[in-house]
Amino acid sequence: MSDKKLPANLHLDTLAVRAAVAKSQHGENSEALYMTSSFVQPDAATAARRFAGEEEGFIYSRFTNPTVASMEQRLAALEGTEACIGTSSGMSAILLMCMGLLKAGDHVICSQSVFGSTIKLIAGEFGKFGVQSTFVSQTDVAQWQAAVQPNTKLLFAETPTNPLTEVCDIQALADVAHAAGALLAVDNCFCSPALQQPAKLGADLIIHSGTKYLDGQGRVIAGAICCSKKLIDEKFMPVMRSAGMSLSPFNAWVVLKGMETLSIRMQAQCKGALELATWLEQQPKVARVYYPGLASHPQHALAMQQQSGMGGAVVSFDVVGANPEEGRKNAFHVIDSTCVMSITANLGDTKTTITHPATTSHGRLTEVQRQAAGIGQGLIRVAVGLEHIDDLKADLARGFDSLS
């Protein structure tokens, strides 16, 4: 699509800016936005060939649009996969993947620490249609192995997880999946391809919520699956065409432009997160810090190896509290004392966000499920943005200092 042919083996930073630029006939330098529902066909016979899949050509934006195609090709270039398919949200990427790969009687093994809506979708909605699922510990490969059944088709992990930042060994899970004749899907939201490329470690499908770091400025909802062209052609495009969980061209354009600054944002946000996590570990009002970049994290070595030596930009911590009520009261006090951070459950924004997982993202779980997931009432999650780190420390210190 670009007028010059890009050389092979370009670095990620270059691909993020240069890969898959969809140009119109006017030669604009910034990516064109093709905001149209359908495409005019030159004649009836060409239309017939395009609808039959005998000739390339844009038809209708439910399943073909040049701006969406640009975003897909750029993301595939960053993830190092053959292809990518854009979707209306991160959840609809998981919906599309499950619809394309699973049927009644099939079995999925899923980490018990994945995004809450992912658990609801796989266990609840797909359970209704006869898909079986087993949920296992994110970090214990033996549990994944033990859960394999003859009808296992898919293994699904997310690393690091939200909010406790548990890291799984992608390569080890890929080996378990492939020995079972199944596929491994990895939700790569938290790291993005700037830090972690699961395909290089053997993952077959990479799930994205473009809403997070790919957009990077909290503007749109978007999603994608990165995988082989064969899986897209045979499994996902037919579902997309019939079911229509399509990415809007406008949202695709925002994500496409967002990816240009992905790498530099991730590096700055990870640097800030490490500094904040290190400082939090020294605060007397903080009982425990969860951050893969800290030596105290149980999978620190694996995280450094898998995530380009960086811990990501999400830091969680427990504030002190003698019991759950006091933990919650103290956590609410720290959150309500902030003047800079946004109290919102989104992450991956340039604006730092702060949230209380037990009553927001994990509020739909029972207390027993929450405890099993390790999400206490004193837990706070901070997704570090691009503000000056001293201002973020001061924002939290205000709450710590005034805790009774």
Ligand X SMILES: *Cc1c(COP(=O)(O)O)cnc(C)c1O
Q: Which of residues 311-340 bind ligand X (CB under 6 A)?
A: none
Distance in Å, CB of 27 to ligand X, minimum: 33
| Start-end of H helices in 282-320 | 300-306
- Answer yes or no whether residue 362 interacts with ligand X by CB under 6 A: no
| DSSP 8-class letter at 122 | I
- List the one residue from 73, 81, 111, 211 that touches ligand X (CB under 6 A): 211
- List the one residue from 187, 204, 215, 318 that touches ligand X (CB under 6 A): 187
Please report the DSSP string for 228-283 in residue order. -HHHIIIIIHHHHHHH--PPPHHHHHHHHHHHTTHHHHHHHHHHHHHHHHHHHHT-
Taking the least distance from each CB to ligand X, the nearer of 91 and 392 is 91
Report d(CA 310, CA 305) in Å as an integer: 9
Distance in Å, CB of 88 to ligand X, minimum: 8
Enter the tokens of residue 303: 């995280």
3-state SS, one letter per residue, for 167-224:
CCCHHHHHHHHHHCCCEEEEECCCCHHHHCCHHHHCCCEEEEECCCCCCCCCCCCCEE
The Cβ of residue 160 has, within 10 Å, a number of other Cβ atoms equal to 27
Report d(CA 212, CA 358) in Å as an integer: 21
Taking the least distance from each CB to ligand X, the nearer of 21 and 221 is 221
Q: Tell me how many residues contact ligand X (CB under 6 A).
A: 13
x/- letters, 121..160, toward ligand X (CB under 6 A): -------------------------------------x--
- List the one residue from 74, 212, 328, 370 that touches ligand X (CB under 6 A): 212
Taking the least distance from each CB to ligand X, the nearer of 50 and 208 is 208
Beta bridge partners of 348: none
x/- letters, 259..298, toward ligand X (CB under 6 A): ----------------------------------------
Taking the least distance from each CB to ligand X, the nearer of 208 and 235 is 208
Of 235, 241, 218, 251, which Cα lies nearest the Cα of 72?
A: 251
* Selected range binding ligand X among 16-24, 89-97, 252-260, 329-337, rule: CB under 6 A: 89-97
Taking the least distance from each CB to ligand X, the nearer of 209 and 269 is 209
The residue sitting closest to ligand X, measured at its beta carbon, is: 90
Taking the least distance from each CB to ligand X, the nearer of 96 and 148 is 96
- Answer yes or no whether residue 89 interacts with ligand X by CB under 6 A: yes
Taking the least distance from each CB to ligand X, the nearer of 299 and 330 is 299
Distance in Å, CB of 185 to ligand X, minimum: 11
- List the one residue from 21, 221, 252, 375 that touches ligand X (CB under 6 A): 221
Report d(CA 261, CA 305) in Å as an integer: 23
Sign of CA dihedral 255, 266, 383, 171: positive
* Selected range binding ligand X among 87-95, 100-108, 276-284, 290-298, rule: CB under 6 A: 87-95
Taking the least distance from each CB to ligand X, the nearer of 165 and 263 is 165
Report d(CA 257, CA 255) in Å as an integer: 5
Enter the tokens of residue 380: 């706070």
- Answer yes or no whether residue 223 interacts with ligand X by CB under 6 A: yes
SS3 8: coil
Enter the tokens of residue 43: 């004649």
Phi/psi of residue 113, nearest 5 degrees? -105, 15
- List the one residue from 58, 115, 236, 291 that touches ligand X (CB under 6 A): 115
Distance in Å, CB of 212 to ligand X, minimum: 6
Report d(CA 177, CA 162) in Å as an integer: 23
Q: Residue numbers of the site for ligand X (CB under 6 A)? A: 89-91, 115, 158, 162, 187, 189, 209, 211-212, 221, 223
